[in-house]
Structure 1
């Protein structure tokens, strides 16, 4: 069976159950399995009337919403290949993706006005367009006009080897690459992860807010939700995020580290750390405090809390554990549909990214320490890039680009990224990620980046969190100095950090210093700061301000 087969199964078995929940202001618009099927078939009929055939690439530009999944199901039904785009993709990246994938049609949905203003002029003339329902835009064929030509659709039954989607990576080291997944690879990923992700049961409720154009959200939320017959709810805006969580009471929640950091900051705003620690030490009060905090976050009925997509500080996970909130870290890549390892709920080992999923072969290269993986859910390759595909999958093994260590009982620790390593002017190689995590564990730090290719010793750039910005300058300096001292006692001489420099500008996707999935663009940061900060680097103080 494919993901589409599972949708058709639930559509037949429980047509009137709610599948998707879309917020509209203070109200919810609910879509049953039957309604979703009907809407998807209308889209399919319109595409077939326009002359699109099985195998055509159809792009989707939108934030998460019910119409995103409805549209994606229509593409599955027609045997089309979906090309999802990040809602905050840059105009140049969008052009490259649309042209590189050969997309003939682009659906445009929920977007911020500033993003749409930048993207509209960059849509190639060769690409036909239409809006999704409820998101009409000037100059684009509206939803109603697009559906006017809809005919009775002909459903295509995809095979396991048929291409399901081309997921473009967010491009931390260059232009986005098109990761090609088949219906078979996606289904294999869902099946092997189904026990750990608690998908083999009924009654699951999911919140979809991280980009559906990312493999992790596409796998756990969309594909996992369809597989188990669950309910998927969406978030209207950042402002309504908390109330949506409280209203839906999800059984599953996936949050990147920055989301958990924001949750922590929100809790500490209302309950400062000193007072919180005191209350948690009072036996009959501690339980009430934990319960109240979990309920305020909307996570009091969550059975599975997952983090991934970027490293999370062990200190942050331990902080939440004291509140009775146990976060499981997962690890994977777009190339394996985000399925390689996850913490078992009853065995969360700090510093690791969990235990390997079954039915795969993973080994660590003894020389480079690179993690290599062979399984039945690897990508087919990179779209129209056979040379890179051949370098990335060798003898059936995916060369992940990440470095790691594997314990005898299958727990994986990430120790760095092959491409992140840089050489100082002393000729010594530095792996930055482990050093950075020492700083991101502080509540005063939002982001940290170790660099120093132009210097004899590496140094770390710091972006302060909202908590850090509210702290006295000397308190921030004391915190950072303490971490510097600890780090420098633990590492080799050539790895010792010369200093920490607190920068003025936040790193965001808008200023092109982060990818759409909020990963640092190290090469861009290096170009921006390394030479410019030389006068600051030469100062005697170990903690300096830009």
Structure 2
């Protein structure tokens, strides 16, 4: 048996056990960094640290406090908060108490929050602030299982017999531990591998969300498998801003506990640019939209600097892509990242002019980024690769505990999601669907045995709903969602995500794009522009001071976007080309339910919302 197999097969039964082991192994090492806003409210945040022992003190107090409130093993404790240090401490406290965390996005409205709390039978809700508390108060009559709400940020909160602050919960827990010091260790020690650890509700495109049941063994396996890839070490500094209510953010906490590196936690997306030079991470996980925004921002800044600067940027972008493609291809064939002398010389000049500044903006120490949750446009991936920002695409679902595939370090291949994690099996079904089996696969959907049976076979194979191809040496390329593949009335199949990704690499002003063409004779697109980038463009094109809606409805903007659509079409098969498009009057967002909190497009919602624009594009048209 290999060392990797031994590591994975001899995993402890629970994340709580992993955490206790980590605290015992490196109690004084730094575990977490988190921002504390300046007392004046002005100036930069003050970053503070917690060692593993200090984190454990708070985790055990939260666990004991929940036990004091009557929480029993496997009972659910809901967590409705943005990404912050208290989210991680509370989640670990819940698991160390033997209970299970129900994750709730803070953006979820009162009605859906109430559904999740009710369906999960959550006994306690840990709410971030008065706003999250208000949702529970509004629906309290429907929440028959809920006995207490614990509020992290007490500003504006009036406590009551069923409402207490996190600080009060920790004090209660600390007092209980004085009388019973082994309480938490005993509760954690009794956890079995099949015991429920997390209940994550997938934000479905239609109908109610489904609760995905992830037992402790899923996370314990993930922690060991991530460590076994060798991609992270105890010397790393991770910058964690992804929503922890999402499985992608959550899995990063398991890997960190196993390896023992530092994690800087701050979920404020508007602070990412400001935080990167302060945190100086060595690795960071993100969704493609972040890389698209950075790319569009760099391109827009170069354009604003005048014609010469923009030409230099365009030249450097092409050099970066060529360099990355050649280097990756050579590595595949020879095991070395070599490039011809001439290309290397051009790359050196481009590095001094463009790439070095981009790396500096990421903090200067970034070894690699992990991208997941949706497909990254290969042309954007190649650009960053050539610029020295190595984006390792990965793949997984909520139902597979997030990480099923990841690109293997130096041997990464842009446009693929890499190889399976150690211990995960994959096969491609006859219709191209990706099937997965292994210790990361969910137990099933909460209280939905029929839905579970639709995707999970008796022998453990899970149907992902994604279409993909495996290379002879095991790299997976995702081509589309099975249900998102569209078939034109001419019988041609089109993967809209592929066309959409190519457009994002061509047009620096796009925020979201939806390609439509099912049962039609040609393809059309709904396009939303990035407000910041297009406003900057507008200033130089006679539209200064206009609103977003006025800018996108201007003929000059439509003409500009049309140029990029024509550029896109040059690289597509005839049946894939976009014959018509419409610019949307606003960007798509989570609040209107058009994208998920992890920034995935909800196609049916967008198509329903803008049905009139889609029909307009086909009205009276000769479908050719």
In the superposition, the TM-score normalised over structure 1's length comes to: 0.90
Equivalent in the alignment of 1:179? 212
| 2:68 is equivalent to residue 53 of structure 1 | no
1:265-309, CA deviations, whole angstroms, 9 ceiling, x for partnerless residues? 3333443442335678484573474333212221x2122211110
Q: Secondary structure at the match of 1:441?
A: helix
CA contact 1:172–1:519 (8 Å) conserved in 2: no
In 2, the alpha carbon distance for the partners of 1:523 and 1:175 equals 14
| CA pair 38-173 structure 1, distance change in 2 beyond 3 A | same
**Structure 1 pair 336/11, CA: closer, same or farther in 2 (3 Å)?**
same
Conserved in 1, the CA contact under 8 Å of 2:367 and 2:389?
no
Q: Deviations over 1:101-131 (max 9, x none)?
A: 11111001268x5x77666524544323433
Q: Of residues 595, 603, 607 in structure 2, which corresponds to 1:522?
A: 603
Secondary structure in 1 matching 2:409: coil
Distance 1:91 1:54 in 2: 27
2:257 to 208, 226, 229: 226
Unaligned regions of 5+ residues in structure 2, if any? 1-11, 38-44, 304-309, 320-345, 539-555
RMSD: 2.6
Q: Which region of structure 1 is more displaced relative to structure 2, 23-32 or 54-63?
A: 23-32
Counterpart of 1:17 in structure 2 is 29
Describe the shift of the 1:416–1:293 C-alpha distance in structure 2 as closer, same or farther (beyond 3 A): closer
Which of 160, 169, 176 matches 2:202?
169
**Alignment correspondent of 2:313:** 276
Q: How does 1:209-288 map to 2 (within 5 A)?
A: 209-220=241-252, 222-235=253-266, 237-272=268-303, 273-277=310-314, 281=346, 283=348, 286-287=351-352
Secondary structure of the equivalent of 1:164? strand
Indicate whether 1:290 and 2:313 are aligned.
no
Q: Which has the larger radius of gyration?
A: 2
The aligned residue for residue 372 of structure 1 is 435
The aligned runs of 1:267-416 (5 Å cut-off) are: 267-272=298-303, 273-277=310-314, 281=346, 283=348, 286-287=351-352, 289-298=354-363, 300-366=364-430, 368-394=431-457, 395-416=459-480
For residues 176 and 236 of structure 1, do their structure 2 counterparts lie closer, same or farther at Cα, with a shift above 3 Å needed? closer
Pair 1:144–1:396, CA change in 2 (3 A)? closer
Q: Is the 8 A contact 1:24 1:236 kept in 2?
A: no
Checking the alignment, whether the CA contact within 8 Å between 1:180 and 1:381 is kept in structure 2 is: yes
Deviations 1:214-233 (A, max 9, x none): 1111112x111111111111
Residues 361 and 234 (structure 1), Cα distance of their counterparts in 2 relative to 1, 3 Å cut: closer
Q: Distance in 2 between matches of 1:21 and 1:110?
A: 21
Counterpart CA distance in 2 for 1:37 and 1:283 is 47
Cα distance between partner residues in 2 of 1:261 and 1:323 = 14
State the alpha-carbon separation in 2 of the partners of residues 305 and 311 from structure 1.
Answer: 14
Structure 1 residues 69 and 398: CA distance shift in structure 2, 3 A: same
8 Å CA contact 1:290–1:323 kept in 2: the answer is yes
Alpha-carbon separation, structure 2, partners of 1:533 and 1:269: 29
Q: Which has the higher helix share?
A: 2
User: How many residue pairs are counted as aligned between the two chains?
Assistant: 532
Over 3 Å counting, the alpha-carbon distance change for 1:429 and 1:316 in structure 2 is closer
Instruction: State the 1:384 CA deviation.
Output: 0.9
1:189 aligns to what? 222
CA distance, structure 2, for counterparts of residue 435 and residue 402 of structure 1: 16
SS of the aligned residue for 1:526 comes to helix
> Which residue of structure 2 aligns with residue 450 of structure 1?
515
Does the 8 Å CA contact 1:59/1:82 hold for their aligned counterparts?
Answer: yes
Cα deviations across residues 155-207 of structure 1 (Å, max 9, x unaligned)?
212222211111111223432111111111221122223243623x3222111
**TM-score (norm: length of structure 2):** 0.79
Evaluate the alpha carbon distance shift between residue 229 and residue 283 of structure 1 in structure 2; reply closer, same or farther with a 3 A threshold: closer
C-alpha displacement at 1:427, in angstroms?
6.8
Please state how far the C-alpha of 1:135 moved relative to its aligned partner: 4.3
Check the 8 A contact 1:57/1:104 in 2, yes or no. Answer: yes
Query: Does structure 1 residue 486 correspond to structure 2 residue 571?
Result: yes
Please tell me whether residue 121 in structure 1 is matched to residue 138 in structure 2. yes
Note the C-alpha offset of 1:373: 1.0
SS in 1 for 2:116: helix
Question: Contact 2:284–2:369 (CA<8 Å) still a contact in 1?
Answer: yes
TM-aligned CA deviation for residue 513 of structure 1? 0.9
